[in-house]
Amino acid sequence: MKALWRDLRTHLRADFRPDLYGATALWVTVLIAVNYYVDLEDSYIDSHQGKPIWPFLYFCLYATAYYGSVWLWTYFHKRPDVWRSRDFWLRSGTALICYSIYAGFYAHSYWSRQLFDGQIYVFAYYCLHNLQSVLTIVLPLYLFYTFVDPYSSSFYGVAPKRKGLGLYAILLGLMIPLITLASFQPDFLQSYPTYHDTGANEFFGVPEWVTALVYELCYGWDFVPTELLFRGFLVIGMSKALGRGAVLPMIVWYCTVHFGRPLGEAISSLFGGYLLGVLALSTRSIWGGLLIHIGIAWGMELAAFLQGVSR
């Protein structure tokens, strides 16, 4: 655990510049202000839901956030060579295309209508929505890893490693009182639990806890490709092109993924994403991030469930 805190300090000493971090903070503040002032993600981008332009609009949002942050890093570190790097463009382009298609994917709506003649449409929709990342993120990145990436010895941090898991467990434990406190807030209970009774248990003839468990497993899975792309591909993989500079642009893009959610969640994603990015770079593993991400997600679901039972 001490070694990991030492790694964090080492990263800050090597990468931290007041001008760079200040400019990046200003850039992400502009992105957040524009989004929450005009409701860009919810009212404009998502108004094109199900149309071919939908993933393209997400691509424009994510590319603006990411490449703007990379430009700041290259400017302050005097690294214009990055923009001439084929490896950088190949990696960043692959990540942007994959995640934009994932964000604007809508085929699961059609599949849900076809499954059991649409009798469990709502339940199937939410489960397939969380599982579609197998096709849109995991498979493309695996093909990139197998046929294109000449550097990686593991699938972008997927190989299990014990280093740092104790620290991640402590960080997760520290989140428990915060989740408990948040569960008493009205806006929290408006968003969680994400599971709702859809009658699917009656269709299958099983207790509701079974369909709830299936849903929560699908919900938890959706954080796997998120960690794989942001901490695995964009940090561990992109470090071949940007070195330690891979972390800062990643967290700006990661923040825009939280647009449409409460403002506090978007802001906190910057700090959480930075810590997870640095630790992923240190451990060369995404398993700690998965522990925290899925643990927090299921913790919020459980807290909301318990609040509902107590009322």
Q: Which of 125, 156, 289 is nearest to 219 (CA)?
A: 125
How far is the C-alpha of 127 from the C-alpha of 115, rounded, in Å? Answer: 12
**pLDDT confidence of residue 305:** 85
Q: What is the pLDDT of residues 10-66, one digit of tens each?
A: 888 888 999 999 999 999 999 999 999 999 998 999 999 989 999 999 999 999 999
Q: What is the pLDDT of residues 80-100, one digit of tens each?
A: 999 999 999 999 999 999 999
Question: Which residues are registered as beta bridge partners of 259?
Answer: 261
Identify the burial level of 5 via C-beta atoms within 10 angstroms of its C-beta, where 0-12 means exposed, 13-18 middle and 19 or more buried. Answer: exposed
Q: What is the pLDDT of residues 23-33, one digit of tens each?
A: 999 999 999 99
Q: What is the pLDDT of residues 279-301, one digit of tens each?
A: 899 888 898 888 888 988 899 88
Structure tokens at 1: 């655990």
Whether 311 has a pLDDT exceeding 60, the answer reads: no
DSSP 8-class letter at 261: B
Q: What is the pLDDT of residues 153-206, one digit of tens each?
A: 689 998 776 666 677 777 788 788 888 887 787 777 777 888 988 999 999 999
